[in-house]
């Protein structure tokens, strides 16, 4: 079974100049955890996830080492969320993300996702985003084939 057999072909995307507010609204209202970032020609240039957004609120590694728990004001950190919403996608996205092609075997895609702890991976053919596949998509497809559904 190939990725093209199980991938979602309709994919919500964002542009690097979009605001994090747009990302957060889409993630929260559409019950998804991340979005591919594409340029005007639909080339995949990044990924933005809820993890990226929330990570921007948290102390960085050095700050954590300097004060692991300490007197950190978590309410103030949470209060900085409106400022994060005004940032652009390009400020927080993961550039040059891993991807698979549509002719990739599904278990190869699943292996790549599990090794890197991804739940989803963009599908790219010739640099263009053509879909997205999740571990859930792969599992459901294998389950249905196995049971002859």
The domain locations on the chain are 3-147
Confidence grade of residue 57 (pLDDT, cut at 50, 70, 90): confident
Residue 126 has pLDDT above 80, yes or no: yes
Residue 67 has pLDDT above 70, yes or no: no
Residue 92 DSSP one-character state: H
The contacts of residue 44 (CB under 8 Å, 6+ apart) are: 36, 37, 38, 97, 99, 122, 124, 127, 128, 129
> Residue holding tokens 């985003």?
129
CB 110, CB 135: distance < 8 Å = yes
Rg (CA), the chain: 18
Instruction: Please report the pLDDT score of residue 64 as a whole number.
Output: 67
148: its two tokens:
């002859």
pLDDT tens-digit readout, 71-119: 667 787 778 888 899 999 999 999 999 999 999 999 999 999 999 998 8
Residue 61 predicted with pLDDT over 80:
no
Alpha-carbon torsion 69, 72, 73, 76, what sign?
negative
- Which of the pair, 143 or 67, is modelled with greater confidence? 143
- pLDDT per residue as tens digits for the range 18-55: 999 999 999 999 988 899 999 999 999 999 999 999 88
Helices (H), the chain: 20-30, 50-55, 61-66, 74-79, 81-85, 89-92, 106-116, 135-147
* Of 132 and 82, the one with more pLDDT: 132
Q: pLDDT grade, residue 147 (50/70/90)?
A: confident
* pLDDT on residue 108: 96
Q: For 3-147, CATH number?
A: 3.10.580.10
């Amino acid at each position: 079974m190939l990725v093209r057999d199980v991938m979602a072909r309709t994919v919500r995307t964002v542009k690097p100049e979009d605001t994090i507010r747009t990302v957060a609204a889409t993630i929260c209202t559409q019950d998804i955890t991340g979005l591919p970032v594409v340029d005007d020609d639909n080339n995949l240039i990044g990924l933005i996830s809820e993890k990226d957004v929330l990570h921007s609120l948290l102390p960085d590694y050095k700050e954590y080492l300097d004060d692991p728990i300490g007197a950190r004001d978590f309410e103030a950190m949470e209060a900085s969320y409106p400022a994060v919403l005004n940032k652009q996608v390009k400020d927080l996205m993961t550039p040059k993300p891993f991807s698979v092609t549509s002719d990739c075997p599904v278990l190869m895609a699943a292996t790549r996702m599990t090794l890197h702890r991804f739940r989803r991976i963009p599908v790219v053919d010739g640099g263009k985003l053509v879909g997205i596949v999740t571990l859930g998509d792969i599992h459901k497809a294998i389950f249905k084939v196995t049971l002859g559904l």
